[in-house]
Amino acid sequence: MNFVTRFAPSPSGYLHLGHAFSAWTAWRAACDNNGRFLLRLEDIDTTRCKREFEAPLFDDLIWLGLDWEEPVRRQSEHFDEYAAVLERLKALGLVYRCFKTRTEILEDIARAPHGVGEVYRGPDTPMSADEEAARLTAGEAYAWRLSLDRCRDHLGERFGAMRFVEEGPSATKGQGPREVGADPTPLGDVVLARKDVGTSYHIAVVHDDALQGISHVIRGEDLFELTPLHVLLQTLLDLPTPIYRHHRLLLDETGKRFAKRDQAATLQAMRESGATSEGLRSIFLR
Ligand code: GLU
């Protein structure tokens, strides 16, 4: 099997240690497997992502000793492809417009008998065509949500049979590659697009992983719980499901995840204060 993996950062700030660990983990796996390593800029959030963060990102990765194939895919250049994916889901009747505000959603969740976290399980009754038309005419904002009930009906037995191979160390107690059931139910009816942003991370990542022939998705374990949704989208869109390898998250000395606001943990700041790439690699190997 050809081993193809990727690092998919959002250029919304400087690369910090946590991201660098992710990039290095994927790159090293590609090297170990004689595979290919791709870089993809996940910049669909055009208010937060800025072109000016791209050059420093590339510089940091080169400094770390990584190399990747050109051209780099920039998601903001492919909104038309993601719109086409949403159209397919609309044509299958699997998404619906949700006009509820965040406050209304939270009220609905609070009323639900077994509400867990901030999961929205969809309306009790679908909105009438007249009400939808009136709200559209009034110019109200809305989100496109994926209806899990409709997905269940559409896929029949295939819904309960969805699985993926997980190779990461921490997803379950097991060792080595293992099959994990992909049940998206805990996630509820997820937003796939909005009136003003015609896509989401979920659509873009699933489309791009398939388009770029990614055989192994290597990413932080914070994304493990979203994977059943990605497997659902792959199943609905007849796309292959890659192998997943969710890696541990690198934590700071207080046990917290690195975040973009921690200026001291950016590679830029670490380089300026004399860190070496060998030093960082030894942190990664700990
Ligand atoms: N863009 C995501 C992030 O920066 C990575 C998504 C993925 O690897 O699937 O966290």
In angstroms, rounded to a whole number, what is the distance separating the alpha carbons of residues 139 and 160?
A: 38
- Place 251 in a pLDDT band, splitting at 50, 70 and 90: confident
Q: Using the predicted structure, report yes or no on whether residue 3 has a pLDDT greater than 90.
A: yes
* CA 127 to ligand 1 centroid distance, Å: 34
Q: Is 9 in the pocket of ligand 1 (CB under 6 A)?
A: yes
Closest ligand 1 atom, residue 19 Cα: 4
Per-residue pLDDT tens over the stretch 102-136: 888 888 877 776 555 678 888 888 899 999 999 99
In angstroms, rounded to a whole number, what is the distance separating the alpha carbons of residues 220 and 121?
A: 26
Least confident interval from 203-212, 219-228, 264-273: 264-273
Q: Which CATH superfamily is domain 4-285 in?
A: HUPs (3.40.50.620)
Q: Is 114 helix (H, G, I), strand (E, B) or coil?
A: coil
**Mean pLDDT on 128-154:** 96
Q: Is 205 in the pocket of ligand 1 (CB under 6 A)?
A: yes
Q: What is the mean pLDDT of the chain?
A: 92
Q: Using the predicted structure, report yes or no on whether residue 148 has a pLDDT greater than 60.
A: yes
Q: Is 10 in the pocket of ligand 1 (CB under 6 A)?
A: yes
Q: Using the predicted structure, report yes or no on whether residue 243 has a pLDDT greater than 90.
A: yes
E strands present in the chain: 4-7, 36-41, 73-74, 95-98, 143-146, 163-166, 178-181, 191-194, 216-220, 243-247
How far from chain centre, in Å, is Cα 215? 16
* CA 226 to ligand 1 centroid distance, Å: 11
- Amino acid identity at 227: T
pLDDT at position 47 is: 92
Least confident interval from 28-32, 91-95, 167-171, 217-221: 167-171
- Place 252 in a pLDDT band, splitting at 50, 70 and 90: confident
Q: Most confidently modeled of 100-109, 111-120, 166-175, 253-262?
A: 100-109
- Site to substitute for ligand 1 among 205, 207, 217, 249, most atoms within 8 A of C-beta: 205
Q: Is 219 in the pocket of ligand 1 (CB under 6 A)?
A: yes
Q: Whose CA is nearest to atom 6 of ligand 1?
A: 8
Q: Is 42 in the pocket of ligand 1 (CB under 6 A)?
A: yes
Closest ligand 1 atom, residue 22 Cα: 8
Closest ligand 1 atom, residue 9 Cα: 4
Q: Using the predicted structure, report yes or no on whether residue 173 has a pLDDT greater than 60.
A: no
pLDDT at position 111 is: 76
CB 42 within 8 Å of CB 204: yes
In angstroms, rounded to a whole number, what is the distance separating the alpha carbons of residues 127 and 131?
A: 7
Q: Is 191 helix (H, G, I), strand (E, B) or coil?
A: strand
Query: pTM for this structure?
Result: 0.94
Q: Is 233 in the pocket of ligand 1 (CB under 6 A)?
A: no
| Residue % of the chain over a pLDDT of 70 | 94
* CA 196 to ligand 1 centroid distance, Å: 22
Q: Is 38 in the pocket of ligand 1 (CB under 6 A)?
A: no
Listed in sequence order, the residues at least 6 apart from 179 whose beta carbon sits closer than 8 Å to its beta carbon are 163, 164, 165, 166
